[in-house]
Structure 1
């Protein structure tokens, strides 16, 4: 009705649903979500066969729910006449099966001795189900006459069967026949309604819910139950309800309630986000019959917001996310799948604040892996283009979305490094290595350089922590080339940690492993302590080296086609090897030597480097002299 209607006159006040419930004009209500899963699913079923199977499962779920909450009258709303008729016709059979399966023989014999009009279900405790003859059921559609409808409604509302005997539970199936203005009055009110099929019309949902919200005829307190069946898939996880199509009936009911009163549904979203700790937060005042405030008393939250009960415990934050994305601002199912994956990922890892999702992150949803990292990157691109809706930005902000482009580029690099480490077992690529279009060799070299992680200390520490989590030796003190060879050999080691025999010429991804092992053994004194420890664990040790006497070397060189300068350098080399026991020789090294009583200073490092690089020009005598000192390349 508009604010100024020609039919009804001017609107002088508005009474919301929440206010009507608090004022006692309408009964309070709770929404019960029956999450039904087929215990023995049949994969190959026609649409009609599947609907029939679900109808049988719904019968069982409703009878169980009525027994658990001691519900006496339930209206079941169908879309098809044949299904309403079938539900009513076969309900007694389902009730008999449940009763037989639950009640003991002794209890049945005891109940059989009681008069039919006085047998009460709680006398059979701890069993809940009643005998099938105490369950009433019928159905109505538009083809029933007015007299037939009145007779059925009279039995339903008064809790009697066609013979006038009392029944305990009554189920009335309706197919769009009880429209506005049709009253159901009797000794009992409508305690519960159930939507057997989804409803597209908000007005129709509101009218159906209104059947249950009418107060009890005797004035007693009533909490109506709005029952919404949800049929889950075989492996469907209820925690994925945000993006699940199975929960569309619940979203439709909440949307219909919200169209009448936003406060009562929006409270579901805000309550989970701002719920106070126990014992804190404002409450509503309690007044006595004269309207005076009762000091020290505080009303419960009551029905200022809807109460939704699920078959299994549910995180209030998840319910809030469902209401915001499926009810208040419905999103596309494609977008919701990513939103749900982000919610599940944060929940699984215990994140509560802003956290960047790694680009290669995937989340298991049902039977597939959802590429969450790429989805988040797409949301960032849409955001930077100014095309992301404000409410989606708000919803992602609530989940700790990180929008900075720099972080996004960094996450792509981290994803490439993580993927490379997983594939190769190390984080020591060649300088020219590429991985997933990322120049990973240059990237890691830059990260290891000064200020490679950025000049912001906090960000640099955070990034270093991410790299350390991928590979603790990403920033080792020795060259990456050395680290790569070592890691490859460590992966080739036997169970006891030792390497098999690897001769020079054995290569792996272009690296000559045998030659590298020989070089490490030869250059052992040049290695750092941690390097030696790693090689020793693989069985690689220093190579034995002959130490010729300097005099012998000098004698060898006399005459024999060796120049005086070569003999002088050769003597200096023999002295160096006798003292140090290793090569190569630093290029800047100068060696002091005494030959025939005369002191000489020899630029041994430069001579050694030049001689080695020009070894193809050495004559046989020079080569023989170097070989005598144990120089393998000569």
Structure 2
């Protein structure tokens, strides 16, 4: 027989159940009415205090508790994904999710023993947040606390993005969440240092404007990471954009805008090779109007040695690299090309 707890019974249903509970424990009963006796269905009365159900419930809880203890011993927490793969034929994530849903009606001893395993087994915020916090805490224990004074530099990409979201929503977080972030090193003082860091957040448009000015001045965007332009860390900014572009499955909007400035701003080969290509092109054909040499540009002798090196390693070059080197020998005045169509031949040979 099923039973509904009194706290969840509407008044009219509760009255009906109490009435049925007083009927004889028979499948059918005889009822005398104006038309005589007739058989009616009746609900048998429950006998006892549900001792059998309590025993089964206790047994199932102890089974799940055993799996929870083993998970805590291995991972240190109970922020188990809801859709995680069952371990030892037991779906611990679903078991914990069901307990969280029914936490208001759990026996106090159940809540107490789970809290002893993990104080935040049932947080008032999404369990995904708690799971991310445990991952961030493992990184902080291994590499030291995070610091807002260095603009979260040197952190893994996933951790940096998560922490930036916490900083942006810090005022909306619960006090307990703020305390948990403080355990990672992200105290209110560190957040103030983060907001006070100079050039903490350069807008995309600002970076794009600086890239446009650099490309117009020097003719390309093959800049190394330490390169700065007008006080802006252009090399570092472009390096981050390249990483995001390579991780994307298709060209991003910002990537297309940078491609319009320099087709080879994000080449599949080293940037050092691309800078030598631009130097060789300018040495062979002269600087375009309005373009000046960039700091540390290779000289003519270095460029000549680089060109000989391309001839020696011709077979190992990327097809696009071969095409670029081939165009270096193009006579701009006639539009002709000395590139050989023979397979494996170098345009610099002979």
Provide the TM-score with structure 2 as the length reference.
0.35
The structure that is helix-richer by fraction is: 2
Q: Who wins on radius of gyration, i.e. which is larger?
A: 1
The structure that is strand-richer by fraction is: 1
Provide the TM-score with structure 1 as the length reference.
0.21
